[in-house]
Structures are given as structure tokens and as C-alpha cells.
Amino acid sequence: MDAVRADRQAELRDEPRRGDRDGGRRPRPPGRSWIRSGLGRRIRRGGASSPLPGVSREGRREQDSAVTVERDAAALDALVAAEIPSERHGVARTRRLFAEQRQLYRWILCEFAAATPPTGDATRAVADALRLDTAETFRVLAREDLVHVDSSGRPVVAYPFSAEPRGHRVLIDGKRWVEAMCAIDALGIAPMLALPIEIYSRDPLSSGEIWVRLDASEGAWWEPQQAVVLAGSACGEGPSFRGCCDVLNFFERRENAERYRAETPSVSGHPISLPEAIEAGRIVFGDLLRED
């Protein structure tokens, strides 16, 4: 069953890239009941527009403090389930880097955020300009599970970003498309960059699309209303891309996530709500680019 799931995930990772056209937008499959209009706005065919499930900025302000504490605790529990320790939360991720190593790391992230993943040559040139030993710096970034490069020195993983298709496409500020490593990483891009984003992903069980819009000035919206994220991991050691990233997926509904977990013995974890997943993304990436 694990092999079947792995094959299906590979198909889903490839699908968005193959369909990209017209500036990165995928054509909609036939028979859908809605179209997208502008950043994050959906208009349903055959009827008046209606509110999408979500949490507005005003709604967040009005939330009872006990609810907020409960959501934050659930987000932290989700990160424990995903085996993402506290030293990989926010600025703590870079605490063991030298200043110049931190500069290179932030440059890599900014290049990915600009939808221009850096080449090996460009990365080495910046490292040289910072008077860094490139090979040693790559070892440090890999040890800290921040950036992983291929044999040519090209960064292929720079959480929250991926240089390869992962099935989590993110539109930043309505202008540029990037690929995220997992659902939590995708949700963390908005607070990290302080920019609005749209996420397009697929349920690995049903292939149904999940759409999320995050905008710090307006709030969060998602579709379908019952969408969840499976918080968990597939192994106990090693970098995130080998453990939790293949597990941290969006699902159309809680039942799908629970069935996926039950049918995949190597996976542990539990489903969490979209607000809890959004908070988990903020905890991990929210202040990552903050200057010291």
C-alpha cells in the first residue's frame, strides 16, 4: 500500500507542472462549479457569489483568548507530531549560523521567493563574495536542515521552498509562482514574506483540489470548507524532506486524512484544522527573515 501511495503522490507532484500555462495557472478540470476571479476571489457559476469559509482579520481580533490559546497549543502539538523541534521554529532555525552563513541563507530564500531558484554557480558566487568556504557552508546548512543542494551545488530544498514540483503551488502577491515543500511550508510563506498568497494543492487520496488564500491585511479563506492538513511524519530521524514533508498534505476532509494514515503504516500523525495549520506555518516561518 505504501508503494501505491508513493506512486500516487509522485503523480500529483508532477500534475500541476505539466498543466501550467497562461502565466502558471492550471486549466480547470471540466465540470467544476466555480471559477477564480482575481486574487483569492471565487465566483460560483449559476448563482450569486457567497462567502468562503475562513477567518477574517476582524474575526481573529474578536476570538476569545481561550480559543486562541487552544489553537496555538494544537499547532504546537502538530509540529511535535511532524517531528519539527522548537529549534526549527522561526529565528531559532538560524541561531547556530555565523552572520555570513545567515546572509547566504537569506539570499537563497529571497531568490526562491522571487521565483528564481538560484543555480549552483550563482550560489557559489555569493558565498565567495561573503568569503565563505562553500563546501563547509553547504554542510552546515544541510546539518541544520535549512538548505540541501544537489551534486552541482544547486539548492533544491530551502524550506519552505522546493526547486522541484511537490504538488503545492503557491502564487505570491498575485505575481509569481513558487513550489512549497509541504502544506505547512506553503502556509508559512505568507507570514514569512508579509505578502498575500494563494495555495493550490491536491488531496493525495481523492485528487480533489484544495485552495487557500492568506492575506495578513484581510484574513484567511479556503475551499472546500472541510479541508484539513495531516500533521505527522514517516520516520523519526533525518531531514524534514525525508520525514514529514511527504506526510504534511492538504486533504478535502478529515475522513480522507484519517483513511490515508490508516492505509499507510509508515505514517503517524493526526489531522488538524486549517486555522491550526496556518498557525503552525506562522510558528515555523513567520519571523524567519527578521533581521537580528
DSSP string, the chain: -HHHHHHHHHHHHHHHHHH-BTTTBPPPPTT-SEEE-STT-EEETTS---PPSEEEHHHHHHS-HHHHHHHHHHHHHHHHHTT--GGGSGGGGGTTS-HHHHHHHHHHHHHHHTT-PPPHHHHHHHHHHTT--HHHHHHHHHHTTSEEE-TTS-EEEETTEESS--S-EEEETTTEEEEESSHHHHHHHHHHHTS-EEEEEE-TTT--EEEEEEETTTEEEEESTT-EEEEEES-SSS-HHHHTTTT--EESSHHHHHHHHHH-TT-EEEEEEHHHHHHHHHHHHTTTT---
Find the domain containing 289 and state its range: 1-18+53-292
Helical pair 134-143 and 99-113, crossing angle rounded to 10 deg: 80
Is residue 29 domain-resident? no
Q: Can you give the pTM of this predicted structure?
A: 0.77
Tell me the average confidence (pLDDT) per consecutive run of 10 residues in the chain, 292 residues long.
49 44 39 37 35 50 49 80 78 92 97 97 98 97 95 95 96 97 96 96 96 91 96 75 81 96 89 93 89 64
Is residue 10 domain-resident? yes
For residue 179, give Cα distances in angstroms to 51, 61, 169, 201, 265: 28, 31, 5, 10, 27
pLDDT of residue 73: 86
Is residue 26 domain-resident? no
pLDDT of residue 47: 33
- Please tell me the distance from the alpha carbon of residue 41 to that of residue 70, in angstroms, as a whole number: 29
pLDDT of residue 76: 83
Residue 66 CB partners (closer than 8 Å, separation 6+): none
Is residue 41 domain-resident? no
pLDDT of residue 266: 86
CATH (domain of 195): 3.30.450.410
Is residue 38 domain-resident? no
pLDDT of residue 61: 47
- Please tell me the distance from the alpha carbon of residue 198 to that of residue 211, in angstroms, as a whole number: 7
Is residue 32 domain-resident? no
pLDDT of residue 282: 93
pLDDT of residue 70: 63
- Phi first, then psi: what are they for 21, rounded to 5°? -165, 170
Q: Residues 245, 251, 257, CA angle at the centre, nearest 5°?
A: 85
Q: What is the pLDDT of residues 89-100, one digit of tens each?
A: 878 889 999 999
Is residue 40 domain-resident? no
Is residue 216 domain-resident? yes
pLDDT of residue 45: 29
- Please tell me the distance from the alpha carbon of residue 148 to that of residue 143, in angstroms, as a whole number: 9
Number of domains in the chain: 1
